[in-house]
Amino acid sequence: MRVVVLTGAGISAESGVPTFRDADGLWEGHRVEDVATPEAFARDPETVHRFYDARRAALAAVAPNPAHEALGRLERALGDDLLLVTQNIDDLHERGGSADVLHMHGRLRSALCAGCGARTGWEGPMLDAAPCADCGGDLRPDVVWFGEVPLGMDRIQRAVAGCEVFCSIGTSGAVYPAAGFVQYAAAYGARTLELNLVPSEGTAHFAEARHGPASVLVPAWVDELLGD
């Protein structure tokens, strides 16, 4: 059984990582155009670095929840028949036991050289970091900002077109291209399922939708899928 799982900020909410669009979400306290665009970084790199440095530091205080752990279990059962795609830049899927995670919006614990594109694992603050050891370029957070192209789209499109089950977890369905994967999966014949606290903006596109906390819905769905 080939399965694609797409996750968003909602899967990490119960671990204490704020979502973007809920009340008290990150986009309530920050303007996207100040911290999450290439133009913002060109204009005011210090503000952008401080925003991501704070979020990277906050990772130390959170832990995966049963939803992340259930997806780790699903990977161990399905192997390469599972593609786990996340829009999240935290590392809770990895810490929850998933070895192969496609971070389509990048990763907090990685630095990207704006000059040569080299990627380096990163801990601690990036503000005032030394330039790239290879080319002398400036380092930036390895995250995909608004107006930039998500990572891994070829692999995602192949997997979505070829899957039998497409499950979206904890995402508002507000940001494309991820919000469009469900229609693509359905067009290629997949069974589609939404697991989210409340109906997402795209809920009508799913054949089935279950609403409640990810920490409850995801383990139950994985049990069901694996026939436990």
How far lies 226's CA from each of 1, 58, 136, 141, 222, in Å? 10, 34, 50, 37, 6
* Active-site annotation holds for 105: yes
172 belongs to the binding site for ligand APR (CB under 6 A):
yes
Stretch that binds ligand APR, among 8-16, 49-57, 72-80, 186-194 (CB under 6 A): 8-16
Map residue 159 onto helix, strand or coil.
Answer: helix
Beta bridge partners of 110: 121
How far lies 218's CA from each of 27, 53, 102, 155, in Å? 26, 30, 19, 24
- Residue closer to ligand APR, measured from CB, 116 or 198: 198
How many residues in the shown chain lie near ligand APR by CB under 6 A? 23
Q: Using an 8 Å Cβ cutoff, are 209 and 166 in contact? A: no
Cα of 208 vs its chain's centroid, Å: 22
How far lies 32's CA from each of 6, 83, 150, 214, in Å? 22, 29, 17, 26
* Token pair belonging to 213: 């906390």
- Residue closer to ligand APR, measured from CB, 111 or 214: 214
15 belongs to the binding site for ligand APR (CB under 6 A):
no
213 belongs to the binding site for ligand APR (CB under 6 A):
yes
Stretch that binds ligand APR, among 40-48, 129-137, 165-173, 183-191 (CB under 6 A): 165-173
Catalytic one among 30, 105, 205, 211? 105
**DSSP classification of residue 203:** G
Stretch that binds ligand APR, among 51-59, 117-125, 126-134, 167-175 (CB under 6 A): 167-175
* Token pair belonging to 161: 């077109």
- Residue closer to ligand APR, measured from CB, 1 or 32: 32
Q: How far apart are the first and last CA of the chain?
A: 15
Q: Using an 8 Å Cβ cutoff, are 118 and 134 in contact? A: yes
In angstroms, what is the minimal distance from the CB of 79 to ligand APR?
26
Site string for ligand APR, 91-120 (x = CB under 6 A): --------------x---------------
170 belongs to the binding site for ligand APR (CB under 6 A):
yes
In angstroms, what is the minimal distance from the CB of 97 to ligand APR?
19
In 79-213, alpha helices (H)? 92-95, 153-162, 181-187
Which residues are catalytically annotated? Answer: 105
**Positions that interact with ligand APR (CB under 6 A):** 8-10, 13-14, 19-22, 25, 87, 105, 170-172, 174-175, 196-198, 200, 213-214
